[in-house]
Amino acid sequence: MEKFNSNLSIGIINTVLFLVFLSIITTLAHTIMLHRGLPIEHIEKRSIDNIQQQVGIFLPISSEELSKIDHKYNITDLTCNSISDIQDNILVIKQNRGMLSSKNLKIQLDTTIKSKLLYNIKNAADINTPGICIVTKSNTKDIKKIIQGCTDFTILYPILKNNNLSLACKYIEFCDDVSKYCFTKKDFQEILKKKVIDSQDPDKTIYQVIAEYLLSMCPIEKFYSNEDHWYSSEIGKMALSFFNIFGTKDILGENGLCSHLKDETLECKALCIESYILYSVTPQHDPVSERKVLSMIQNIYFQRSCDINSYDNLYENRYVNRRGENIADLIRHRIKHNRLYKYICAIASYSSLDSNGDFHNPTDMFIDKLLHLENCADAYNIVHYILIDDPTIIRNREYYTNPEINDILQELLGDSQFYSDSSLISAAKNYIMEQCRPHIKLYCEREYLIEIGNVEKVIISPPVRANIKNLSNVESHNNSECSFQIQ
């Protein structure tokens, strides 16, 4: 019996020892496995020493979404999925839980706050909004060199593959000199779709203007000449270059130029050019003529496009310089520094103001917002004295004794003694356009990928705290469909 008890005790001890050994091995394996992935740090617990070659991206996330992340577990995978149509970004995080199944999270990014590219992070406490900061070890100078001079540099979304961080970005590229142009065929195709100011055809495009001009300038007899060929003349070479690059579809298509003009001669010329392009064995590349065509596109854009010349398009808030300043900045500057400008803006925007105080023209609404931003909405008080909401009445300027009103009328009407509501509003709109038109630029958006470097750590930022200094950063501005900020 004693021997049996002794054997039983030994068996129990062996079993316990085995279980303890198994537990130790399992715990050790679990602990080792937990070290896989990127550690999560919390800036309330630890500061980061200054690292000279450190670049990070800060992704804004609400405190509620941030609470889903378990700080105990490392991150093994992190991707950002943009959802088009609703302009949201979902951060997909996979956390390593050792021998347990991985934890998969979908975190909604805060699209109301700008994402930031961070340089030389001295202390993580400098981040003053809740979110995630992905820190990399990379060459700060190289990153700065890539984005230096980029107008409106914008982070679209991060890409993390094999522990390497890349950023999908966009910026604005200006076209100042066509002889050294960096615009592509696709860029110019977009420009050709722009509408021009045309009283007879409000849908007329730059393409139609140029095509009509080139076709009309080519003498019809040269298309049937055996000696003096149309394609040997300067205008013929330009027409050939234009249609060779941009095609004749918009000329001969169902809603093409010829269908609008109902001009058989132009259609005949277009068909001849199309046939020549399709069947000629002669090389058609002519750099000189191509540059002339691109210069013509640029000139027509500045002279006739609605983008540049229409008051009703000012609300699009186009850029006016490489510093990223736009029409809104220009108008606000003039409101601040020209005592009459706020009244002129109020007169211009008054035409679509209804009895409920609502605007029906987007540019009028745009200007009204700028007046309110500059605390100049009181300008409408004087406007109510000048405009009387009756387009049939012609007023004499001598009616007014207020010197400020007389200064406004002198600025807009010059020597004209009489005016109506419509003529004064038109003069105010023209005045604003004359101020803005010379500054509006031709540009396009560029998208590209920046390789940032290997990720070192992920930092969780707490909710906002007061008196926190700013980081040296490059912030995103207006963002596209998959951007972090929606304005």
Q: Look at residue 26 in the predicted model and tell me its pLDDT.
A: 66
Q: At what angle do helices 341-349 and 362-373 cross, to 10 degrees?
A: 150
| Residue among 135, 126, 130, 133 at smallest CA distance from 462 | 130
Q: Which residues are 445's β-sheet partners?
A: 172
* Residues contacting 379, CB < 8 A, separation 6+: 342, 343, 345, 346, 371
Q: Which two tokens stand for residue 78?
A: 């992190």
| Residue among 179, 251, 181 at smallest CA distance from 209 | 251
* Residues contacting 40, CB < 8 A, separation 6+: 69, 71, 73, 74, 75, 457, 458, 459, 460
Could you read off the pLDDT of 343-384 as tens digits, one per residue?
Answer: 999 999 987 666 555 667 899 999 999 999 999 999 988 888
Per-domain boundaries in the chain: 40-171+446-475, 178-309, 318-439
Q: pTM of the predicted model, to two decimals?
A: 0.73
CA pair distance 107, 120, nearest whole angstrom: 27
Four-residue CA torsion sign, 171, 174, 180, 184: positive
User: How many other CB atoms are there within 10 angstroms of residue 46's CB atom?
Assistant: 10
CA pair distance 289, 10, nearest whole angstrom: 99
Largest distance between two CA atoms of the chain: 130
* Residues contacting 319, CB < 8 A, separation 6+: 151, 152, 172, 174, 325, 326, 440, 441, 443
CA pair distance 333, 336, nearest whole angstrom: 5
Share of residues in the chain with pLDDT > 70 (%): 73
CA pair distance 8, 421, nearest whole angstrom: 109
Could you read off the pLDDT of 102-155 as tens digits, one per residue?
Answer: 677 788 788 777 777 777 655 445 567 788 888 887 777 778 877 877 888 888
Question: Which element (helix H / strand E) includes 453?
Answer: strand 443-461
pLDDT band at 319 (very low <50, low <70, confident <90, very high): very high
Q: What is the CA radius of gyration of the chain?
A: 33
Eight-state DSSP code of residue 439:
G
Mean pLDDT of 195-207: 88
Could you read off the pLDDT of 275-310 as tens digits, one per residue?
Answer: 888 877 666 678 889 889 998 999 999 999 999 999
387 or 112, which is more confident: 387
pLDDT band at 15 (very low <50, low <70, confident <90, very high): confident
Q: Look at residue 313 in the predicted model and tell me its pLDDT.
A: 94
Q: Look at residue 7 in the predicted model and tell me its pLDDT.
A: 58
Q: What is the Cα 350 distance to its own chain's centre?
A: 30
Q: Which two tokens stand for residue 37?
A: 């992935």
pLDDT band at 8 (very low <50, low <70, confident <90, very high): low
